[in-house]
Amino acid sequence: MGVFRAAAVQMRSGMEPERNARDMEALVREAAGFGATYVQTPEMTGAMVREKEAREKLFVPEDRDIIVATARRLAEELGLFLHIGSTAILREDGKVANRALLFSPTGETLATYDKIHMFDVDLDHGESWRESAAYEPGTHAVTARINDATLGFAICYDLRFPQLFRAEALAGAQVLTVPAAFTRQTGEAHWHVLLRARAIENGAFVVAAAQGGQHEDGRETFGHSLIVDPWGRVLAEADHDRPGVVVAEIDPSQSAAARGKIPNLKNAREFTLADGAGRTVERAEA
């Protein structure tokens, strides 16, 4: 299997999609200059807008979205796979998706993925989020082929649902993706350990481009974009919350090697959950 260079682009998206598209273009070009042939941007590349009315004014269909158009052009011009971690897309049914898009070196749309798990949480210090109030959750896990490897899709809060990554790994994904806009509070607590856990338990690379810093709408994100290998080792990290690019070599054969050493994907067994009296409460799949 061919080795390729992956890049995670760290951004600090503001409230104007046009400016974010320019910032994205500069960083993608920087990644291409480092030799990356797969480049990933973070969740909500297009805009970070918390206020409901201002946010809804930005929602447009995929064929009118400036991030989509810019990414398609860059992928073709630079001859690389460009993965927009996500941007808000107005669907044909009038609902809005938090959508990832993967473009080929010819500008073709290879895959789209709508975030499945909505970030509806109540954190310490009064920090509260209701993603489901703005976006319609997706219903399908997605994989796609790039550079002789299979890529599995996820977005941010999906990271806390290991069954999604297990399904993609069982479908052959050697590279799992987690573009994100983790809050500083949750990022400091869980970002590194969760990403490394998903890599280890699936014997897969994990590429996670992040938003970072203080945003125009008042929120603060953690940054620390990471690329992790199938043994859980951090290959590259943006050890800060500023915009930038990190790169690492991806050798899909290392995924096969890790799974050969610890074959937990094929060793999984079905089981039942019983109460103290031995009565079956629930049946679970491997």
Q: Note the pLDDT of residue 121.
A: 67
**Residues 135, 52 contacting (CB under 8 angstroms):** no
Catalytic residue among 43, 62, 168, 237: 43
The single-letter DSSP state of residue 137 is: P
**Residue 94 has which token pair?**
């009038």
Q: Note the pLDDT of residue 159.
A: 98
Rounded CA separation 52/54 (Å): 6
- Taking only the tens place, the pLDDT of each residue in 117-130 is 987 767 787 777 67
Name residue 16's amino acid: E
Q: Give the predicted TM-score (pTM) of the model.
A: 0.94
Give the CATH H-level superfamily of domain 4-255: Carbon-nitrogen hydrolase (3.60.110.10)
Measured between its terminal Cα atoms, the distance across the chain in Å is 28
Catalytic residue among 30, 76, 156, 220: 156
Q: Note the pLDDT of residue 286.
A: 55
Q: Is-catalytic flag, 115?
A: yes
Sequence-distant (6+) residues with CB within 8 A of 278 are: none
Q: Note the pLDDT of residue 283.
A: 67
Rounded CA separation 73/264 (Å): 41
Per-residue pLDDT of the chain (286 residues; tens, 9 = 90+): 589 999 999 999 999 999 999 999 999 999 999 999 999 999 999 999 978 888 888 899 999 999 999 999 999 999 999 999 999 999 999 899 999 999 999 999 999 999 999 877 677 877 776 788 889 999 999 999 998 899 999 999 999 999 999 999 999 999 999 999 999 999 999 999 999 999 999 999 999 999 999 999 889 999 999 999 999 999 999 999 999 999 999 999 999 999 999 999 999 999 999 888 888 887 665 5
C-beta atoms surrounding 197 within 10 Å: 17
**Residues 214, 243 contacting (CB under 8 angstroms):** no
Q: Is-catalytic flag, 156?
A: yes
165: closest CA among 120, 205, 111? 205
The single-letter DSSP state of residue 159 is: G
